C-alpha cells in the first residue's frame, strides 16, 4: 500500500488519543505523506471535511479510539472504499479495534503497511431508508443510512418510557407484530453489541446474515431471527399517536418514522475494510477476551487435547 494521503481521526476529548494522533502524523509526514487529522465524537464529525479537502485518493484511515469512534469512521468511509486501521486508544471494550500492543511501535507499523505485510478484513454493513406505505411505493422519504453494527427502530421521549408496536415483514410477507421496547436489526459484526445485550445470538463476523432481535417483547413467543443476507426487512410503526418512533443507526439518531411510513433494511453494497496487524488473529480469542468467558467455576484440565 502507498501512504501518500492518510486520515487520522482521534477520539474527541481524549488526551491520550490526541497525543498518539500527533505522533503518528509526525512520523508519516517524515515519509512524505499528507495528513488530514481531526477529532471524532458525538459533537465532532471530521469526515465530510476530510473527504472534501482530499487532494488525491485517500490511502488509509487511522482511527484512534474505541468502537464508537470506529463505527463513525466505517459509516463515512465504506462508500469510498477506504481501509481503516482501528486502534484501541482511549476506548473501552474494543471489539472492532487492534490491541494497542500491536500498534505501540508505530514506525514499524508504517513499514509493514508499505511492504503489504497485513491482512484486510471486509465486514458486511446494513442500509436503511424510509418509504411511504407498502412495498409498491419505492419513492424515498429520507436519506439512505448505513450501519456497521445495527439499525434500531424504537421510540424516544424526554419524559417517559414508551412501548412501541411494530409490524415486520420479510421480503413482503408479514412475520410478526412486536410490542415492547423496539426492534434491533443487526449485522454479524453487531451481534456482539446491542443485540447480545438484548439476548440475541452471537454470529461469526465472517458471515453474511441479518439478525432481528426484539427488545424486551411483551410476548414470550417473539424470538430472535437469523435471516439470509439478501432479505429485505420492512418495519412499520403502529399506534404511534405521539410520533415518537425513531430510526437509530449504530446508536446514532437517524430519522423520525411516522405512522404510514416503513423502514426497509437490507444488506448494503458497501463493506467496511479493516487492516489486521495481528499475525495470528482469532475471532474466538476476541470473544473469550472481550466477553471474559471463564468457563466453569471449577477448572478442569483437558488432558486429551494433545493426545
State the catalytic residues: 67
Angle between helices 106-114 and 15-29 (to 10 degrees): 50
Burial of 241 (0-12, 13-18, 19+ CB in 10 A): exposed
What cell does 149 get?
A: 453494527
Measured CA to CA, the distance from residue 18 to residue 45 in angstroms comes to 15
Burial of 217 (0-12, 13-18, 19+ CB in 10 A): buried
H or E stretch covering 15: helix 15-29
DSSP code of residue 230: T
Measured CA to CA, the distance from residue 94 to residue 65 in angstroms comes to 9
Helix (H), strand (E) counts: the chain: 6, 16
Residue with cell 503497511: 113
Sort strands 84-88 and 60-65 into parallel, antiparallel or unpaired: parallel
CB atoms closer than 10 angstroms to residue 161 = 7
Measured CA to CA, the distance from residue 118 to residue 288 in angstroms comes to 23
Amino acid at each position: 500500500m502507498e501512504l501518500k494521503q492518510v486520515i487520522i481521526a482521534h477520539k474527541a476529548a481524549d488526551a491520550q488519543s490526541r497525543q498518539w494522533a500527533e505522533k503518528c502524523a509526525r512520523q508519516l509526514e517524515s515519509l512524505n505523506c499528507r495528513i488530514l487529522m481531526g477529532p471524532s465524537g458525538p459533537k465532532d464529525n471530521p469526515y465530510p471535511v476530510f473527504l472534501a479537502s482530499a487532494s488525491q485518493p485517500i490511502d488509509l484511515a487511522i482511527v484512534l479510539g474505541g468502537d464508537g469512534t470506529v463505527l463513525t469512521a466505517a459509516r463515512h468511509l465504506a462508500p469510498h472504499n477506504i481501509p481503516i486501521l482501528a486502534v484501541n486508544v482511549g476506548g473501552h471494550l474494543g471489539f472492532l479495534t487492534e490491541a494497542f500492543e500491536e500498534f505501540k511501535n508505530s514506525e514499524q507499523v508504517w513499514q509493514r503497511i508499505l511492504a503489504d505485510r497485513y491482512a484486510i478484513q471486509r465486514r458486511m454493513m446494513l442500509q436503511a431508508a424510509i418509504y411511504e406505505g407498502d412495498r409498491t411505493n419505492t419513492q424515498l422519504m429520507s436519506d439512505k443510512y448505513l450501519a456497521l453494527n445495527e439499525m434500531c427502530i424504537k421510540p424516544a421521549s424526554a419524559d417517559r418510557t414508551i412501548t412501541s408496536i411494530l409490524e415486520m415483514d420479510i421480503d413482503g410477507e408479514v412475520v410478526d407484530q412486536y410490542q415492547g421496547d423496539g426492534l434491533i436489526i443487526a449485522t454479524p459484526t453487531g451481534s456482539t453489541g446491542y443485540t447480545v445485550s438484548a439476548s440475541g445470538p452471537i454470529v461469526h463476523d465472517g458471515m453474511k446474515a441479518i439478525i432481528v432481535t426484539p427488545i424486551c417483547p411483551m410476548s414470550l413467543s417473539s424470538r430472535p431471527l437469523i435471516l439470509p443476507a439478501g432479505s429485505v426487512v420492512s418495519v412499520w410503526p403502529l399506534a404511534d399517536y405521539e410520533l415518537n418512533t425513531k430510526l437509530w443507526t449504530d446508536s446514532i439518531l437517524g430519522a423520525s418514522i411516522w405512522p404510514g411510513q416503513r423502514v426497509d433494511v437490507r444488506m448494503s453494497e458497501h463493506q467496511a475494510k479493516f487492516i489486521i496487524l495481528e499475525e495470528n488473529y482469532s475471532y474466538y480469542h476476541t470473544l473469550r477476551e472481550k466477553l471474559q468467558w471463564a468457563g466453569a467455576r471449577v477448572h478442569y484440565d483437558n488432558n486429551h487435547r494433545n493426545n
